[in-house]
Amino acid sequence: MTNSSEECLICKAPLEYLTAEVEMECSICHKREMSRTRCANGHYVCNECHTRGITDIVGYCLGETSKDPILIVQQMMTMPFCHMHGPEHHIMVGSALLTAYHNAGGEVDLPAALLEMQKRGKAVPGGVCGFWGACGAGISSGMFVSIITHSTPLTNEPWGLSNQMTATSLRNIGIIGGPRCCKRNSYLAILSAVDFVKEHFGIEMEKRDVRCVHRSNNNQCIGERCPFYSTNSK
């Protein structure tokens, strides 16, 4: 099935989402791997190349003093590694939440937590929202809770809270419906986490109204169905 609204990072041609995985060669690093996604001209960009430069957010987050994770993630969205859509958001959501949580008084070893968020977020490939039924931005919010609670497969409350966080984010994302928008889903996951953390941990991060400024870059924008849509959006 061809999605005529998406654009290839190499040639800006529409992307094709295949019904089954095939072996592809990254057009940038030439690594070969299995994927369902390529552009109409045959280009493929692996997750690693798509997120190249994202390690820069660790230094940015360590220097950030804001308690507002939306403000933090919006700043990340202006950085060169961030595209309109892509797996970089699977790292950005959790990183913004870790930073704001720390700045709001939450106990966390922020440098170690940010590095762990990078490792975990990179393991969630692009396109999972459509193929796995679990948006990577929502999963990232669950990773955030799992990191601050030191959750493992054998813990009790931390395990439960991490899964509840992911479930809450995914529910709020899923209610809106598709097609996906990585910016919309990132905002929904973060706002879900702000409320969740206040209720379960007593840490109050700042929360703001969000108005989208990415509409002109998203040919798949759902318009007034989006809670962040504004007629003043660019």
Question: pLDDT digits over 187-204, tens only?
Answer: 999 999 999 999 999 999
Report pLDDT digits (tens) over 136-149: 999 999 999 999 99
Which of 6-15, 84-93, 109-118 is predicted with the least confidence, judged by mean pLDDT? 6-15
Q: For the sheet with 32-39, list strands across it.
A: 2-3, 15-25, 32-39
Q: Token pair 């984010």 is at which residue?
A: 169
pLDDT of residue 231: 61
Nearest in space to 90 (alpha carbons), one of 33, 13, 169: 169
Q: Which helix (H) or strand (E) holds 38?
A: strand 32-39
pLDDT of residue 68: 98
Q: What is the pTM of this model?
A: 0.89
Which of 32-41, 58-67, 94-103 is predicted with the least confidence, judged by mean pLDDT? 32-41
d(CA 130, CA 164): 21
Mean pLDDT (the chain, rounded): 92
Chain centre distance of CA 157: 25
How distant, in Å, are the alpha carbons of 98, 103, 136, 184 from that of 8? 31, 37, 20, 20
Instruction: Tell me the backbone φ, ψ of residue 19, rounded to 5 degrees.
Output: -80, -20
- Residue 16's DSSP bridge partners are 2, 38
Domain ranges within the chain, ordered by starting residue:
2-48, 53-225
- Does residue 177 surpass a pLDDT of 60? yes
What average pLDDT does the segment 28-34 reach? 91
Long-range contacts of 212-216 (CB under 8 A, 24+ apart): 212/183, 212/184, 214/77, 214/84, 214/181, 214/183
pLDDT of residue 234: 52
- Does residue 18 surpass a pLDDT of 90? no
Residue 85 neighbours by CB distance under 10 Å: 23
